[in-house]
Amino acid sequence: MVKPDRSDTSASDIVVELSGVCKTFRQKQRSERLRDVFRNLFRPTVREVHALRNIDLRIHRGEIVAYAGPNGAGKSTTVKILSSLLVPDAGTARVLGMNTARDRIRYVGRIGVVFGQRTELWWDQPVAASFEWKRVVWDIPRDRYNRMLDFVKELMGLGEFFNSLTRELSLGQRMRADLGLVLMHEPEILFLDEPTIGVDVLAKRNILEFIKDLNRERHVTVMLTSHDMSELEQIAGRIVMINRGQIAFDGDFNRLRREFGARRRLLIETADRSPPDLKGADLIKSEAGRHEYIFDASQVKIPALLEQASIQAQILDVETHQASIDDVIADIYEKWQK
Amino acid sequence: MRVNTLHKYWKTTAIAAAEYVGNNLLFLMDYLLRFLRVTVLLSIWRVILASKGEVSGMTLESVLTYTLISEVFSQQLAPRVRLDVAIWEGSIATRFLRPIGIFGQFTAEMVGRWIFGFCIFSLPLLLVAPILGVNPLPVSVEAAGLFVFSLALAISVGLALEFAYGALMVALEHNLYTLDMVRNAIGMVLSGALLPLALLPWGLGEIFAWLPFASMASAPLQIYTGTGDPFWLVSVQFGWSIILWPLAYGLWRKYREKLVSHGG
Amino acid sequence: MDSGVHQFKSSPAFYLLRIFKLWYIHAYMDLMWVTRDLRNCLIYYLSDVILNIAGVTGTLLLAERFEGIGSWTKFQVVFMLGYGIVASGIVYTFFGYNISHISRRLGRGQLDHTLIQPQPIWMCLLTEGFNPFSSSAIPISGLGLMVWAGAKLSLTLSPGWLAMIALNLVASSAIMLSFSFLWGSLAFWAPRGAEEINSSTNRLMDGLRPFPLDGVAPVLLSSMLTVFPIGFVAWYPCRYLLGLDPRAWGGCITPVAAVIFVALTAFFFMRGLKHYGQTGSQRYLSFGHRR
B26-81: pLDDT as tens digits: 777 888 888 999 999 999 999 888 878 888 889 999 999 999 999 999 999 999 98
Average of per-residue pLDDT across A9-37: 79
Least confident window among B42-51, B88-97, C147-156: B88-97
> Among B37, B188, B201, whose Cβ lies nearest the Cβ of C208?
B37
Predicted local confidence at residue A12, as pLDDT: 60
Which range of A42-51, B12-21, C101-110 scores highest in mean pLDDT? It is C101-110
Predicted local confidence at residue C288, as pLDDT: 67
- Does residue B213 have a pLDDT over 80? yes
- Produce one character per residue of A222-245: b if its CB has 16 or more CB atoms within 10 Å, e if not: bbbbbbbbebbbbbbebbbbbbeb
Confidence class for position B192, pLDDT limits 50, 70, 90: very high
Are A118 and C21 in contact (CB < 8 Å)?
Answer: no
- Residue C67: other Cβ atoms inside 10 A: 9
DSSP state at residue A275: P
DSSP annotation string for B209-220: TTSHHHHHTHHH
User: Which are the contacts of A325, defined by CB distance < 8 A and separation ≥ 6?
Assistant: A229, A230, A232, A233, A253, A256, A257, A261
Confidence class for position C105, pLDDT limits 50, 70, 90: very high
Distance CA C236, CA C222 (A): 12
Distance CA C115, CA C96 (A): 18
Nearest CA in chain A to B12: A34
What ipTM does this complex have?
A: 0.84
% of chain B exceeding 90 in pLDDT: 52
Are B23 and A28 in contact (CB < 8 Å)?
Answer: yes
Rg of chain C (C-alpha set):
20
Distance from CA of A174 to the nearest CA of C (A): 14
B105-126: pLDDT as tens digits: 899 989 988 988 898 899 999 9
Chain A from 25 to 84: CB within 8 A of any B CB? 28, 30, 32, 34, 37, 40-41, 44
Distance CA C196, CA B28 (A): 12
Predicted local confidence at residue A9, as pLDDT: 40
- Does residue A6 have a pLDDT over 50? no
Chain C residues touching B202 at Cβ < 8 A:
64
Distance from CA of A43 to the nearest CA of B (A): 10
A152-194: pLDDT as tens digits: 898 888 999 999 988 888 888 898 899 999 999 999 999 999 8
Among A59, A51, A53, CA closest to A21: A53
Judged by a CB distance cut-off of 8 A, whether residue B164 touches chain A is: no
Distance CA A153, CA C156 (A): 60
% of chain A exceeding 90 in pLDDT: 39
Predicted local confidence at residue C187, as pLDDT: 92
Distance from CA of A119 to the nearest CA of C (A): 8
3-state percent breakdown (helix, strand, coil) of chain C, nearest 5: 70, 0, 30
DSSP annotation string for A78-143: HHHHHTTSS--SEEEEEETTEETTS-HHHHHTTEEEEETTS--S-TTSBHHHHHHHHHHHTT--HH
B136 and B129 in contact (C-beta within 8 Å)? yes
Chain B residues touching C201 at Cβ < 8 A:
33
Predicted local confidence at residue B262, as pLDDT: 58
Torsion sign across C-alpha atoms B122, B123, B127, B128: negative
Are C50 and B186 in contact (CB < 8 Å)?
Answer: yes
Reduce the DSSP state of residue C211 to 3 states and report it.
coil
Average of per-residue pLDDT across C127-145: 91
Judged by a CB distance cut-off of 8 A, whether residue A48 touches chain C is: no
Distance CA A218, CA A213 (A): 8
Amino acid type, B182 = V
User: Which are the contacts of A241, defined by CB distance < 8 A and separation ≥ 6?
Assistant: A68, A69, A247, A248, A249, A250, A256, A332
Confidence class for position A338, pLDDT limits 50, 70, 90: low
Distance from CA of C204 to the nearest CA of B (A): 6
Judged by a CB distance cut-off of 8 A, whether residue A157 touches chain B is: no
% of chain C exceeding 70 in pLDDT: 96
Confidence class for position B158, pLDDT limits 50, 70, 90: very high
- Bridge-based pairing state of the strands A90-95 and A14-29: antiparallel
Q: pTM score, two decimals?
A: 0.84
> Among B88, B89, B186, whose Cβ lies nearest the Cβ of C54?
B186
Judged by a CB distance cut-off of 8 A, whether residue C278 touches chain A is: yes
Predicted local confidence at residue A206, as pLDDT: 83
- Does residue C154 have a pLDDT over 90? no
Predicted local confidence at residue B24, as pLDDT: 60
Q: Give all strands (DSSP E) within B33-73, no chain letters.
A: none
Are A27 and C282 in contact (CB < 8 Å)?
Answer: yes
B128 and B30 in contact (C-beta within 8 Å)? no
B117 to each of A152, B110, C200, C206, how far by Cα in Å?
54, 11, 14, 21
Distance from CA of A198 to the nearest CA of C (A): 16
Are B18 and A34 in contact (CB < 8 Å)?
Answer: yes
Amino acid type, B232 = W
- Does residue A36 have a pLDDT over 80? no
Predicted local confidence at residue A204, as pLDDT: 84
Predicted local confidence at residue C3, as pLDDT: 63
Average of per-residue pLDDT across C263-290: 86
Predicted local confidence at residue A127, as pLDDT: 93
Predicted local confidence at residue A3, as pLDDT: 41
Torsion sign across C-alpha atoms B61, B67, B68, B69: positive
The C-alpha torsion from A3 through A6 and A10 to A12, rounded to 10°, is -80
Are A34 and B25 in contact (CB < 8 Å)?
Answer: no
Judged by a CB distance cut-off of 8 A, whether residue A125 touches chain C is: yes
Rounded to 5°, the CA angle A245-A250-A255 comes to 135
> Among A83, A117, A125, whose Cβ lies nearest the Cβ of C29?
A125
